């Protein structure tokens, strides 16, 4: 059977295509957001600044939003399926990890709003 459509070839194992690079960047940003959100939930007045933990919550929200956006962009522009070297697998991982970072950041932000520090009058 002869096909008249374009042939899809998988990328080389060691090459770093634009899709792979974008998906890896998005996944790393999502992972940073998950760590920041987890720290903000665990220790709101701890390592990420003094106060109620808003810095960690905002960092998790920003990193998660960028990860979801970049992962969605790579997913939408990937030419092939999983295993073709276009970064689709990494983009799906970035979407999931970015959503987790958004949820953790939102929970930490809600906690920070409830526990405001006392200000002297």
Please give the average per-residue pLDDT across 5-31, as a whole number. 74
Going 33 to 103 to 70 to 90, the CA torsion angle's sign is positive
Quick one: CA torsion of 34, 37, 43, 46, rounded to 10 degrees?
100
Q: Note the pLDDT of residue 70.
A: 92
Q: Note the pLDDT of residue 14.
A: 64
- Cα 14 to Cα 17, 18, 48, 69: the distances in Å are 9, 13, 37, 26
Comparing 79 with 28, the larger pLDDT belongs to 28
Q: How many residues does the chain have?
A: 121
Task: Band the pLDDT of 88: cuts 50, 70, 90.
Answer: confident
Comparing 80 with 76, the larger pLDDT belongs to 76
Please give the average per-residue pLDDT across 9-37, as a whole number. 80
State the Cα–Cα distance between residues 44 and 42, nearest whole angstrom: 6
Q: Note the pLDDT of residue 87.
A: 78
């Amino acid at each position: 059977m002869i096909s008249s459509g374009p042939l899809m070839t998988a990328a080389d194992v060691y090459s770093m295509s634009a899709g792979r690079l974008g998906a890896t960047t998005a996944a790393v940003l999502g992972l940073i957001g998950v760590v920041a959100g987890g720290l903000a939930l665990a220790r709101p007045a701890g390592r990420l600044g003094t106060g109620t933990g808003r810095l960690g919550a905002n960092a998790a929200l920003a990193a998660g939003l960028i990860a979801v956006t970049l992962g969605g962009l790579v997913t939408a522009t990937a030419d092939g399926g999983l295993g073709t070297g276009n970064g689709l697998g990494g983009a799906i991982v970035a979407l999931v990890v970015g959503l987790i970072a958004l949820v953790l950041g939102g929970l930490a932000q809600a906690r920070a709003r409830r526990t405001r520090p006392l200000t002297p009058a």
